[in-house]
Amino acid sequence: MKAREWGVLLVLSGAIFLEGIDIAMLNIALPSIRTDLGLDTGSLQWVVSAYVLGYGGFMLLGGRAADILGRRQVFLTALLVFLLFSGLGGLAENGATLIAARFVTGLAAAFMTPAGLSIITTGFEEGPKRDRALMIYGAIGAGGFTLGMVIGGLLTALDWRWVFFMPVALSLVLLVAAFVLIPRSPRPERRGQRFDLLGGLTITAAVVLLVLGVERAAHVGVGWTVGAVAASLALIAAFVAVERRTASPLVRLGIFKSGSLVRANVVGMLFMAGFFGFQFLVVLYLQELRGWSTIEASLAMLVMGIDVVLAPTLTPKLLRRFGNAPVLLGGLVAAALAFALFLTVGASTSYPAMLPSLVFMGLAFTLAYGPLTIIATNGIDEEEQGLAGGLLYTSFQFGAAIGLAGVAAVNVAATASASSQDLLGGYRAAMLVPLAAAVVAVAVGAFNLRRREREAAAEPQLAGVA
């Protein structure tokens, strides 16, 4: 790659790293935020849920906006909004201000993330060059998720507000660099294309209700959850009807004919469900049951950040040797092993005994994150790359919501009292949720591999016919 291409790639990778650490750092800072602002459990949950709703609910709209309005313009604008409202979150003096700031920050990320991914997939030609760029992008993005807990722990030890101010500083650097380095591109040809406002409203409302229903499942009655999910499904049906009739659909339904895109989205959802559920339970185990400090728990999870080193160095070599599907499957198996091994952890297990589980989680990100982005975007027309990125990151966010809601619900149901034995039993029962998600993901990944092998076997026959 040329120097300018490296610069563009590092800026965009920095943005996805920013998005990853923003989520992870907040999770570790929640207890300090609760104490300082005097928030009850419901309000504290909304500090997380508000971001999830803004991010997951508007991702498809953000991806399509990048395709129609211009990727560079959407990326720069969204990054600026992200910067401003991260700062507002750090200055918040009450829960309402913090929750509102988190919602808008999530909304900005919903436009920034697919725009950044589509700049890569359209700016680097499909093949080894794009694959390498996506591997580096995925490695740095995955590093945000895994290192964010550590960085968040260190910053929270100073003051929880630094969890919001640090992204402001990073956003400012990225904004200046993006303005200088990301090349201006011709404005998209919008003749005959109008923004599908009705489709945008229906799918955004549908995703918001679906994420809200899942996110709040552990805190409200079954009737409320069923109602939210049913309303979401009704809106999805309305969205499909709108998209079939409009001349310029927000989501061209034919894009789902790409089997690789659909499987990548399903696997991405399951993978993130497992990871976020696992991360949540490990933090609870270390801090609530073992009594470790925030910094001790954060440093204990530092090893999961090995993907930052291995993903851009080891994974490209494995991809050249074996291909996307086998490497992805290896990452999914590593995740399943990580969750299974943590089931054996007891009330006094030493850190070296926990280490294999955390290492396997780092390897899972090393092997899975990059191939997922490659599989989800390869073969998609340039004018729909923003949409493809929006679909993938919507799946990631929805998976995170499912994983967190699932482990929280099982943990609460399985914990009868506050004794250490009950806490440990609750964690073990809840860990079955990430494990189940990983096992299903392995099954889907194996199907993807078998399909690849059948297609490879058919190629010589087709060549002979030709």
Please list, in sequence order, all residues whose beta carbon lies within 8 angstroms of the beta carbon of residue 464, skipping any fewer than 6 positions away. none
Residue 17 has phi, psi (to 5 degrees) of: -65, -40
pLDDT at 459: 41
Cα-flanking dihedrals φ and ψ of residue 303, to 5°?
-60, -25
10 Å CB burial of residue 252 (0-12, 13-18, 19+) is middle
Tallying the residues shown for the chain, one arrives at 466
Task: Print the SS3 string covering the chain.
Answer: CCHHHHHHHHHHHHHHHHHHHHHHHHHHHHHHHHHHHCCCHHHHHHHHHHHHHHHHHHHHHHHHHHHHHCHHHHHHHHHHHHHHHHHHHHHCCCHHHHHHHHHHHHHHHHHHHHHHHHHHHHHCCCCHHHHHHHHHHHHHHHHHHHHHHHHHHHHHHHCCCHHHHHHHHHHHHHHHHHHHHCCCCCCCCCCCCCCCHHHHHHHHHHHHHHHHHHHCCCCCCHHHHHHHHHHHHHHHHHHHHHHHHCCCCCCCHHHHHCHHHHHHHHHHHHHHHHHHHHHHHHHHHHHHHCCCCHHHHHHHCHHHHHHHHHHHHHHHHHHHHHCHHHHHHHHHHHHHHHHHHHCCCCCCCCHHHHHHHHHHHHHHHHHHHHHHHHHHHCCCCHHHHHHHHHHHHHHHHHHHHHHHHHHHHHHHHHCCCCCHHHHHHHHHHHHHHHHHHHHHHHHHHHHHHHHHHHHHHHHHHHHHHC
Hey, what are 341's tokens? 């091994």
Provide the pLDDT for residue 450: 64
> How far is the C-alpha of 61 from the C-alpha of 207, rounded, in Å?
11
Dist. CA 32–CA 34, nearest whole Å: 5
What does residue 216 show for φ and ψ, rounded to 5 degrees?
-95, 5
pLDDT confidence of residue 158: 85
C-alpha span between 454 and 205 (Å, rounded) = 40
Let me know: does 185 contact 72? Beta carbons within 8 Å.
Answer: yes
- Integer Cα distance of 377 and 392 in angstroms: 9
pLDDT at 339: 96
- How many Å apart are CA 276 and CA 407, to the nearest integer? 9
Q: How far apart are CA 82 and CA 11, in angstroms?
A: 15
φ, ψ (nearest 5 deg) of residue 15: -70, -40
Are 29 and 149 spatial neighbours (Cβ–Cβ below 8 Å)? Answer: no
pLDDT value at residue 271: 94
Radius of gyration of the chain (CA): 21
- Residue closest to 329 by CA, chosen among 151, 236, 451, 417: 451
SS3 sequence of 92-114: CCCHHHHHHHHHHHHHHHHHHHH
- Estimate to the nearest angstrom the gap between the alpha carbon of 271 and the chain centroid: 9
pLDDT tens-digit profile, the chain (466 residues): 788 889 999 999 999 888 888 887 887 787 788 888 887 755 776 787 788 778 877 887 888 888 888 889 999 999 999 999 999 999 999 989 999 999 999 999 989 988 998 898 888 887 788 888 888 887 787 778 777 878 888 888 888 899 999 999 999 999 999 999 998 866 655 554 566 778 778 887 887 787 777 767 766 777 888 888 899 899 989 988 888 888 777 778 888 888 888 889 999 999 999 998 898 888 888 887 888 887 888 888 888 888 888 888 888 889 888 888 899 999 999 999 999 999 999 888 999 999 999 999 999 988 998 888 888 888 888 777 888 888 888 888 788 878 877 887 788 777 755 555 577 888 899 899 999 999 999 999 887 666 655 544 444 433 343 4
Q: What is the pLDDT of residue 422?
A: 74
What pLDDT sits at residue 187? 63
Q: Structure tokens of 303? A: 């090893």
